[in-house]
Structures are given as C-alpha cells and as structure tokens.
Amino acid sequence: MVAKLTQGFWARTARIILRNRILILLAIAAITVFMGTQWQYMRFSTSEANLLPDDHPETLGYQEFLKQFGEEGNAVVLAIRDSALFTPERFNQWNILSKQLEAFPEVDLVVSTENLRRLVRDTTANAFALQPWLEGPVADQMTLDSLSGELFERLPFYEGLLYNPESKTIQTVVYMDKDLVNTPVRKDFVLNDLRNLVSDFEEETGMDVHISGMPYIRTMNSQNIIDEIGIFIAGALLVTSLIFFFFFRSFRATLISICVVVIGVMWAFGTLGLLKYEITVLTALIPPVIIVIGIPNCIFLINKYQQEVKKHGNQALSLQRVISKIGNATLMTNVTTASGFATFIITDSQLLSEFGIVASINILSIFILSLLIIPILYSFMPLPKTKHLKHLNKRWIDAFVSWMERIVRNHRIAVYMVTIGTLVASIIGMYQIRISGSPIEDMPKGEEFFQDIRFFEQEFDGIMPVEIVINSQRRNGIMKPATLRRMDQLGTYIEETPELSRPVSVVDLVKYSKQAFYNGIPKYYQLPTSQESNFILDLARKSQDNSNLLESFVDSTGQYARMTTYMRDMPTERMEEIEEDLKAEIAKIFPEERYEVSMTGKALLFLKGTKYLVRNLVLSLSLAILLIALLMAFLFRSFRMIIISLVPNLLPLVITAGVMGFLGVPIKPSTILVFSIAFGISVDDTIHFLAKYRQELSANHWRIRKSVYAALRETGVSMFYTSIVLFFGFSVFIISSFGGTVALGALVSATLLFAMLANLILLPSLLLSLERSIANKQVLKKPQIDILSDSDSAKNSPQAE
C-alpha cells in the first residue's frame, strides 16, 4: 500500500515539476536572491568556540572567574631576541613602538620597558611608591648597560613578564580593552594597526618582532579560515567538475551540474546568515561539502536521463522517469547523509550543533535543487547526441565491475579472510588512538604566527593561560601571612613543573614590597617573616600604587585571589597528569575546611571540551546507526537484512579508527566528525545495492546468485562514479593549512573508499554465503517503499538490454 502511494506521489511530483517549469525556476531564482541578501548577516567567529554546554560546571566556573577578574585572554605580546636591541638607538625605537601602541583606543594598557616602574620605599610618606625606570630616551651605551643590568639582576618581579634572564629576550605586553577583545574591532586592530606598525618597525630596525597572545592567535587563525573558504569552494568545484566531465564527456552536463551546486553553495551561505551563525573552522567546510555531495546527485539524475534517452529517445518520458524513478532513491540517500550530519545537533556543543543544523538543512536543499533544476533545464535543450552517450559503454568500467564479480564469485573465502585480518589489525590500532585536547594542534604549522607560538613557549614557557582561584572564605583573608605562604608554596610547585610558566599572583607583589622595603636588594625578594609582615603589609596597604596593582591579583573584597600560569602545548595525557598533580598538591597545601580552590582557564576548558565531545561521539554515532537501521527496517522489513546492511558500513569505520591509531592521528574536535559523516554517506551505496537486489530477486523468481550478480553489475558503475567523486571531493580538504581539516578530508576520503569496496565486494559475498537464511519471500517481504520500481528494474536489467 505504502509502495503504491509512494509511486503515485513521485509520478504526480514529476508532472507538477514539468508542467510548472518557468514558475519553479522563478521561485528558485527568488529564493537564491533572498539567500544572497542574508550574506550580510554572516559573521566570522571573534571568540574561541566553547566546546562545552553553557550550563556545564566548567563553563559556569569560568564565567564566574571572568566576573571576578575580567577577561583573561586580552593580552597581545611582542618580543625581540636580538643583541642589537641593547643599543641606544634600537632600544629607544622599541620604546617608541610601545608608546605608539598605547595610543590606540583599542588598547587598555601597555606594560613595557618604556613605562616600567620600580617599587621603592617612600620614607617621607611612610608608604611604597612606583617610580619610572626610564627618564626619557636613553642617551648613551653606558646608561643602557646600567639599566639592562638592573633589569636582569635587580628586578625579579618582572622576570617572565618582561624579560627572560637567560636569553635576554625582551617582551612588551599589550592589554586590549576587555569590552572590545571579542568584537570585530579586534580584527581591524590586529590585522591593520598592529601588524602595520610592527612591519614598519622591522623595516626600520632590521630586527624580527615575534607576536603572540590569544587575541592575536585567534585573529590570525580566523583570517586563515576566511582565506581558505574560497580555496575549498574553488578546489571542490574544479575537482568534481573535472571528474564529472571525464565520466560524461559533456560540457552541457558539466555546466548544469556546476549551476546546481553553485546555487546550493549560495543557499548554504544564506542559511548561515539567516540563522545568524558564526563562520567557524567547521561551518566553513559546509559549502565545499555541499558541492561534493551535490555532484553525485547530478550524476544519478543525468545518468538516468541519458540511459532513458538511449533506450527510447522520448525526451518527455525520459524526464518524467528521471524524477519518478530516481527521485525516491536520491531522497533516501540524501536523508541518510543528512542524518549523519544531523546527529551533531544533540551534542549540546554549540559549535557542533550549528554545524549539524546547517549541513543537514543544505544537504536536503541540494537534493531539491538537483531534482528540480536538472530535468527542467534539460527539457529546454535538444536530446543528447550519440557522443554524449558513449560513456554508458566504457570498457574500463565494465572491466572493473567484471573484476569485482569474479572476486565475489570465486574468492569469497579470501574476502572473508582479508576482512577478518583487517578487522583484527584495526582493533589493535584502535587501542593506540589518543585524545588531543590541545587548542593549537590544528593550527597551520607553516604560518608565521604558529612559529611565534613556539618561540614564546621556548622563551616564556607557554601562551595558554591556566587560572587558579583561591577563595579564603573570609574578607581580606588573602592578605593573611598564612594564606600568602600557602600560595607561595603552590607557586614553587608550579614553577618546578617544566611545562608550566612561573605563576604570577599577589605573592609576587608582596615579595617585591619586601625587596623595596630593604632598598631594592634582590636577595630580599621573598615573603616577609612573621615579624616583618605587620609593618611591610601595613606600608603596602597605605600605598595607592600598590592598590592599583593589587586589583589585578585580588578581588575588591580581599577574599578571592588568582594565580596565573601559562601552559606549553603538550599531549593530552600529560595535560591531564599535570592537572591531577596540581589538584593533589592543592589539596595538601589548602585545607578544604578553610579554603576553596578551583582551576579554570581556556587551556583547561578546551581539554574538558574535547573529552566531552569524545563522549558525545559515541552517542551521535549510535544515533546515526539507529536512524539508518530504522530506515532500512522500513524499507526492507527484515531484521537480518538490517544486520547484513550495517556490516559493510561499520567495518570501514573500524578500519579508519585503526588507521588513526597506527598513524598517530588523535581524536580531536575535527576528526570526531569523520565517523558520523562517513557512515551517513557510505550507507547510500548499501541502500542502492539492496534495493536493486530486492527487485532482481522478484524479477528473477528468487534465483539468488543471478540476482546478486545482476545487482552488482547494475549498481557497480554508479557506485563507482559517486565514490570516486566523493573520494576526490573530500580530498580537496587535504590542501588546507589546518591539521584538523587535512585529517578530516583524508580520513573521510579513505573511509568512503573502504566503504565502496565493502559494499561492492563484502556485501554481495555475504548475501551469497547466507542465501538460505535471508533470500526467501518470508524474510524479504515486499518493501514498504520501492526505491526503484519493478518495471524500471526489468527495463534496466541485463536481460532487457
């Protein structure tokens, strides 16, 4: 009953489309223009994507930290490691650069040698005061040598902040306005003002300036994403068009296909604007993905049209059959593909959810566009010429299909042995997969800004902030000597951890106060003793300058303090180990009944977010498998067929996971996508093959072997065509400078190649080996929906030809 209704629906759909050609084209044009108007609302991401849900405890803890101490990632750092800097001319130019940066409205504060302050004891006011380290430009080399000697030997407070004592690297820290750092203003400042100013300085002085800091890294990373969108779209169009033309040898067919996918890309960008979604490293992949998935739709429809023209030469009948016969099959395959992407919607991660929504909507949109545009445009054109139909009889394709048939017919045992061996090896590889929680691992390694990240890791022990918040649980409890000693003890432990930088906290300010009390003698850079604490801290409290400095480390109540350290890029396992060791040390130093200590920061948030996504990977992939299994059950009404259909689609996923383990490709936000995407696409071939197999069984009076080989010959060509397009289409992502995008492209391409071989060799082999169990009228009942009608099957069967 459902099958008859479905056939009737598609027959009516074909009539509606062909009778309303002009109206439909005008409607598509109108929608395209409307989608084009939505492009103005597209926004490129200005902040790091939070992989955790907004209500996750780690996210809430980080938001609470921002409320207390403000934005942590608002510092841009500039550094020079060059002995030429310590000449009066170059040193003065460096200080002028700092002064110029401070003049920009986007900059809140600059900390540099130009405005460095000494903390001194003012005996007249009985308080501490900050005095300028520099009194104008440096006049001669002797003065500069004296100043640099003082900086490196007598001002330990600034070690790690402004200088590295071993390499004599000098750093300037530019704090952007916290209200502007996550807005488009940041991009203009970094790409235009900052970079132009630094370029001019480098040209004048001949010295290299290294730039880093989270605002700079995020801006440069986002700009790389923007630059690559056009490359991906052009690359995907070029590759898929060339392959399409190679198969069809028709400029007309190629141009029609390009027209379809270009409109699909315009709709994809329009969807992003309409939904007000930001363009991230993931959503930037959607337009080229639409091209890669849209071209196979065009292949199915145009190939069917040309087959029909070759048989009877009736254009109207050919176009009607393209819609009514292939429409249902194409709908099913696009629904399964969209389902693979749609599973990301349930992950509770805004980044993945938005990617899933836009991708699934536009995959269904490209199906609609293909189904409407291709028959309508062909209806206005003359019939294809004989030369355009020659590709239907390519000998090398026939040879490929014959080779697969021989393997299935004569070497099924070898197929199973290779499958089992590959499966065992892949499972071994799976146990070697690691999880990567590094926020910079996917960044383009060849870019200058990435090399600068490595420079700052070497010179200042990292750029990814980790924040430790100490709650003394009483007002002004942070400045108690006992609390300061505990913080100093924790700071010593952090400093001894090679992957962490020297922490910065109120402890450093108190140590500096003691040094200032003893006339700046470096050996007194330490916490005051119990006897010294009262009068030194009393002097510090009276000092207005100290109060201003204190705001950076302690909240207004004196109950909360922050300790900031920076983490190097490292394997996730080591990050987790350091986190656990820190927690254990904190538990020993700060008694739970008196202190409440928490850790946060972007580095830890990204690590937690990655692990959260990995847990959700199992859920999203399971949902994809369930949805597709339900679809197969609806189509074939056979539990055994569901199991058999899943085997050749799950096996490639296991193989890909094994390859990732052996090659050292980690699980991370980008590679997490591979499995659900590849599963949703690869199952299309299974649906085509089993639908054809079911029809051949009916046509051949349940003769299993004959039906399997007929289905293999009939579907092998189109499956090969589409798999090649998908393989090379996703391979376009390999040209990306982002490691995650490269891995995504390579892994999806490889998985789809494995899936094609599994569907064309393993699936027919299983059907032949299990023929007594599955190939009977009780198991393979009449399907709920005829993906291809029986009449169509008969006409397309080898016997009919």
Question: Is 54's pLDDT higher than 80?
Answer: no
Q: Are 463 and 528 in the same domain?
A: yes
Residue 318 placed within a domain: yes
Q: What is the mean pLDDT of residues 136-143?
A: 89
Q: To which residue do tokens 């087959």 refer? A: 307
Question: What radius of gyration do the chain's Cα atoms show?
Answer: 33
Provide the pLDDT for residue 790: 44
Provide the pLDDT for residue 773: 64
Phi, psi of 529 (to 5 degrees): -70, 175
- Of the pLDDT bands very low, low, confident and very high (cuts 50, 70, 90), residue 542 is low
- Of the pLDDT bands very low, low, confident and very high (cuts 50, 70, 90), residue 87 is very high
Q: Which residue has the higher pLDDT, 180 or 546?
A: 180
Q: Which helix (H) or strand (E) holds 513?
A: helix 506-517
Q: Which residue has the higher pLDDT, 622 or 541?
A: 622
Single residue among 605, 634, 666 that ends a domain in this structure: 605
CA distances from 164 to 170, 290, 507, 749 (A): 7, 50, 20, 46
Q: Are 677 and 588 in the same domain?
A: no
CA 212 from centroid of its chain's CA atoms: 21
Q: Are 660 and 568 in the same domain?
A: no
- Of the pLDDT bands very low, low, confident and very high (cuts 50, 70, 90), residue 793 is very low
Q: What is the mean pLDDT of residues 179-208?
A: 88
Q: Are 549 and 588 in the same domain?
A: yes
**Domain range for residue 481?**
69-215+445-605
Residue 658 placed within a domain: yes
Residue 415 placed within a domain: yes
Most confident of 77-91, 347-361, 433-447, 464-478: 77-91
Q: Are 204 and 224 in the same domain?
A: no
Provide the pLDDT for residue 792: 46
In total, how many domains does the chain have? 2
Residue 437 placed within a domain: no
Q: Are 164 and 262 in the same domain?
A: no
Q: The domain spanning residue 639 has which CATH number?
A: 1.20.1640.10
Q: Which residue has the higher pLDDT, 791 or 305?
A: 305
Q: Are 287 and 156 in the same domain?
A: no
Provide the pLDDT for residue 390: 62
Single residue among 556, 580, 605 that ends a domain in this structure: 605
Question: Is 50's pLDDT higher than 80?
Answer: no
Q: Are strands 43-44 and 278-279 parallel, antiparallel or unpaired?
A: parallel
Q: What is the mean pLDDT of residues 474-498?
A: 90
Model confidence pLDDT, tens digit, residues 761-775:
888 888 888 766 655
- Of the pLDDT bands very low, low, confident and very high (cuts 50, 70, 90), residue 538 is low
Provide the pLDDT for residue 752: 86
Q: Are 597 and 613 in the same domain?
A: no
Residue 56 placed within a domain: no
Of the candidate ranges 428-437, 538-547, 576-585, 618-627, the one whose mean pLDDT is the lowest: 538-547
Question: Is 548's pLDDT higher than 70?
Answer: no
Q: Are 619 and 758 in the same domain?
A: yes
Q: Are 136 and 229 in the same domain?
A: no
Residue 227 placed within a domain: yes
Q: Are 370 and 242 in the same domain?
A: yes
- Of the pLDDT bands very low, low, confident and very high (cuts 50, 70, 90), residue 794 is very low
Model confidence pLDDT, tens digit, residues 227-271:
888 888 888 888 888 887 877 777 888 888 889 999 999 999 999
The rounded percent of the chain whose pLDDT value lies above 90 is 16
Model confidence pLDDT, tens digit, residues 336-350:
788 878 877 877 777
Provide the pLDDT for residue 543: 56
Residue 101 placed within a domain: yes
Q: Are 786 and 682 in the same domain?
A: yes
Closest CA to 569 of 434, 405, 440: 440
Provide the pLDDT for residue 782: 52
Closest CA to 588 of 473, 493, 507, 478: 493
Residue 304 placed within a domain: yes
Provide the pLDDT for residue 25: 92
Question: Is 328's pLDDT higher than 80?
Answer: no
Helix pair angle (350-379, 251-274), 10° resolution? 140
- Of the pLDDT bands very low, low, confident and very high (cuts 50, 70, 90), residue 437 is low
Q: What is the mean pLDDT of residues 674-689?
A: 78
Distance CA 41, CA 715 (A): 43
Q: What is the mean pLDDT of residues 387-396?
A: 61
Which residues in 396-440 belong to E strands, given as ranges?
Answer: none
Distance CA 324, CA 312 (A): 17
Provide the pLDDT for residue 232: 82
Ordered DSSP codes for 210-223: EEESHHHHHHHHHH
Q: What is the mean pLDDT of residues 44-65?
A: 75
Q: Which two tokens stand for residue 204?
A: 């004048």
Provide the pLDDT for residue 635: 66
Of the candidate ranges 47-56, 191-200, 272-281, 778-787, the one whose mean pLDDT is the lowest: 778-787
Provide the pLDDT for residue 586: 92
Provide the pLDDT for residue 118: 85
